[in-house]
Structure 1
Amino acid sequence: MIYFILIMCFFGSIVLTPLVKKLAFKVGATDKPNKRKVHQKIMPRMGGLAIYISFLIGALLVNPDKAYHYPILLGSLIIIITGVLDDIYNLNAKIKFIAQTAAAVLVVVWGGVQVEFINLPFGGQLQFGFLDVPITILWIVGITNAINLIDGLDGLAAGVSSIALFTITGMAMIMGNGYVIALSSIVLASTLGFLFFNFYPAKIFMGDTGALFLGYIIAVMSLLGFKNVTLISFVIPVIILGVPISDTFFAIIRRLINKQPLSAPDKSHLHHCLINIGFTHRQTVIIIYAMATFFGLVAVIFSQAKVWGGILLIAIMLLIIELFVEKIGLVGKNYKPILKFINDLRYTTEKDKT
């Protein structure tokens, strides 16, 4: 049954996307070129509606006996309505934030999806107490916006989300979580169908409709897959979402350093930096796909590692991320503390030799 649903969602997305494209032009959901955009012509957006409709059909057919199933679907409806309106009318950031929070509250309060505690690696539990609800809401809203931030190149957000969903599905198989397997694979199939029209050169953008929905569903699925587990396991969804989380984190650092508002748009995100140092549009997307795959593989290895092995793996991964960030200038051209230290050390060594 599930295989039939996945095939239907995949081809359903392929059939629906051209129809949504026509609808986007009709209602004015278009993206016009400007100095921050990479594309050079008016493009239809709102393509995420095709992903959502395909997903919704599959999710209703699955209909599992879970208390949080319909709250999740209702929350996704709030997100989709917000995304569609934003793609047409360019909503105020505060309105979008309120809608995202409302969707998250619905899932947490009505659906009961909460991270109440984590088991510590050396024994005992860390209880969140009254912070469990705000922490869970913060995670959902944060990841929802993180996916939206990387939606800057053809096929980028859809591809990175697909890799994250594939990893979450694989991890759910290891943990035996049937619900996460079903829903994540349904979203994955729907997104892959849309990618036929969204990969470079794109015929349609997913818009906020797609980026917000994918961010929301990935946030919820990762919570369901890893809530109330060990501290080590709690890190796994963070690793899986390494690309959007890293880009968001360093965007915040960059804006704090430059004394800009956190919501201020700029042209210094990961994909912008890679293009600025000479990579083509297609090469940049493939490089970021490779990075997302790297994070996914690290998450799988990390899940099988012992405590100290996991800590060592995280340390190495963070060092690689920092070196990469400094090399491409993600925070700023002058932000190179480790590279500067290495160069100074090399200079001192060479000086001592002479």
Structure 2
Amino acid sequence: MVDRLTLILILVVALGLAWGLTGVLRGYALHKKLMDIPNARSSHSVPTPRGGGVAIVVVCLLALPALAWLGLVADAVVYGLAGAGLSVALVGWWDDHGHVPALVRLLVHFSAAAWGLYWLGGPMALPLLGWTLEGVWLWAPLLLYLVWVLNLYNFMDGIDGIAGVEALTVCVSGALLAWWALPEANVALYGLLAVASLGFLIWNFPPAKIFMGDAGSGFVGLWLGLLSVYAGHQAPELFWGWVILLAMFVADATLTLFFRWWRRENLFEAHRSHAYQHRAVNWGHKATTLFYGTLNVIWLLPMAWWVVSGGIDPLWGVLLAYAPVVFLVYQFGAGVRHVEWDDY
């Protein structure tokens, strides 16, 4: 058995490094004038440095070899997570410093998702309605799922703290699910992303002193998707548990995208029509961020546990978990354009 004290030490060092490196990146962004300047589509009112999510990228990539050395992560998993995450972070960093055509970003995203999925072992067998879904045909839906989680994370990173709180609560909840489901649960990867996100979140919690940026949000989004696949290979029910844990972000981003597509709006144009953005106007960033994080813990985690424990079929569990979440973000105005937003 791996020395738990050694693992804890690695995670504590990762936390401190993420916190310290985020501060360094803030100084770099201020020096280089890499600032998010408020405009009509922004949810902030003060120019703020961006690119702090690179700290999460660096810490996770540095810690992976240490986890492999402890025998907690297979070499193939390191290749998959490191290669996929690094490529997405690099194109995000490029985009933070200039502009990357949408087609180029999408090609990189699909390539990274395919790379990660391949090294994690490809599609896993998934239980559903008493059947087992398996086979090469699962590659297509899983790739679409991974690329969507990657991109929706970027869409949802629009107010102070919300992306960091999401990563922290989902990873900690995912670790708890693994402990419940498996006798010798391996939760090192979940802990790594959790502490790296927490180190950044200290700087990003409302009022934010630095934003995550595309490099960080793309990396975290893809890693969350790949970690759900990794969990599914540990125990198939865990994949569905992670799908449930991601419901707040998935429902808000998907419903918003659907209504914007329905109105034939430019899907690549900046906007403020997500449910969380509407709430932030009325509640403020801190209350909205804490509300989303709290629902992850008090609603989605118990529903995920119900599925993982075998108490309900995954399909019905996912539908029951998502139904009130979809209703809630709809009531909050996901995808709705109000006239006053144009003059806000």
TM-score w.r.t. length of structure 1: 0.84
1:150·1:157 contact (CA, 8 Å) conserved in 2? yes
Is 1:215–2:200 an aligned residue pair?
Answer: no
Question: Secondary structure of the residue that 1:67 maps to in structure 2?
Answer: helix
Structure 1 unaligned regions, length at least 5: 335-354
Contact 1:115 1:135 in 2 (8 A): no
How far off its partner does 1:247 sit? 1.2
Cα separation, partners in 2 of 1:140 and 1:314, compared to 1, 3 Å: closer
Q: Map 1:80-99 onto structure 2 (within 5 A).
A: 80-99=89-108
2:334 is the counterpart of 1:330: yes
Question: Do 2:80 and 2:120's aligned partners in 1 also have CA atoms closer than 8 Å?
Answer: no
Q: Give the corresponding residue for 2:132.
A: 125
User: Does 1:289 pair with 2:293?
Assistant: yes
Q: Measure, in 2, the Cα distance between the counterparts of 1:307 and 1:18.
A: 45
Give the CA deviation at 1:311. Answer: 6.1
What is aligned with 1:161? Answer: 167
Match of 1:77 in 2: 86
The separation in 2 between residues aligned to 1:116 and 1:315, in whole angstroms, is 21
Identity of aligned residues (%): 22
The answer to whether the aligner puts 1:191 opposite 2:197 as a matched pair is yes
Q: Is the 8 A contact 1:119 1:228 kept in 2?
A: no
- CA distance in structure 2 between the aligned counterparts of 1:80 and 1:177, rounded to whole angstroms: 34
Are 1:104 and 2:104 matched, yes or no?
no
The alignment's C-alpha RMSD in Å is 2.4
Alpha-carbon separation, structure 1, partners of 2:28 and 2:183: 37
Higher gyration radius (CA): 1
Summarize the Cα distance change of 1:149–1:11 in structure 2 as closer, same or farther, 3 Å threshold.
same
Residues 255 and 262 in structure 1, CA contact (< 8 A), matched pair in contact too: yes
In the alignment, the residues of structure 2 paired with residue 237 and residue 330 of structure 1 have an alpha-carbon distance, to the nearest angstrom, of: 22
- Pairing of 1:136-151 with structure 2 (within 5 A): 136-151=142-157
Tell me the equivalent position of 1:36. Answer: 41
Report the Cα offset of residue 302 of structure 1. 2.9
Cα distance in 1, alignment partners of residues 204 and 183 from structure 2:
31
1:170-185 mapped onto 2 (5 Å cutoff): 170-176=176-182, 181-185=187-191
Pick closer, same or farther for the CA change 1:179–1:138 going to 2, 3 Å. Answer: farther
Give the drift of 1:263. 3.1
- Verify the 8 A CA contact 2:153 2:217 in the aligned structure 1: yes
Structure 1 residue 307 displacement after superposition: 3.1
In 2 relative to 1, CA 171–299 (structure 1 residues): closer, same or farther, beyond 3 Å? Answer: same
1:247 corresponds to: 252
TM-score, structure 2 normalization = 0.87
Contact 1:114/1:136 (<8 A) preserved = no
Cα distance in structure 1, aligned partners of 2:183 and 2:225: 16
CA distance in 1, matches of 2:331, 2:188: 40
* Structure-1 separation of matches of 2:193 and 2:183: 16
Q: Report if aligned partners of 1:177, 1:225 keep a CA contact under 8 Å in 2.
A: no
Contact 1:149 1:244 in 2 (8 A): no
> CA 1:260 to 1:18, structure 2 compared with 1: closer, same or farther past 3 Å?
same
Task: Name the CA distance, whole Å, in 2 between partners of 1:29 and 1:244.
Answer: 27
Distance 1:97 1:51 in 2: 22
Q: 2:276 aligns with which of 261, 264, 271?
A: 271
Going from structure 1 to structure 2, the CA distance change for 1:255 and 1:216 (only over 3 Å counts) comes to same
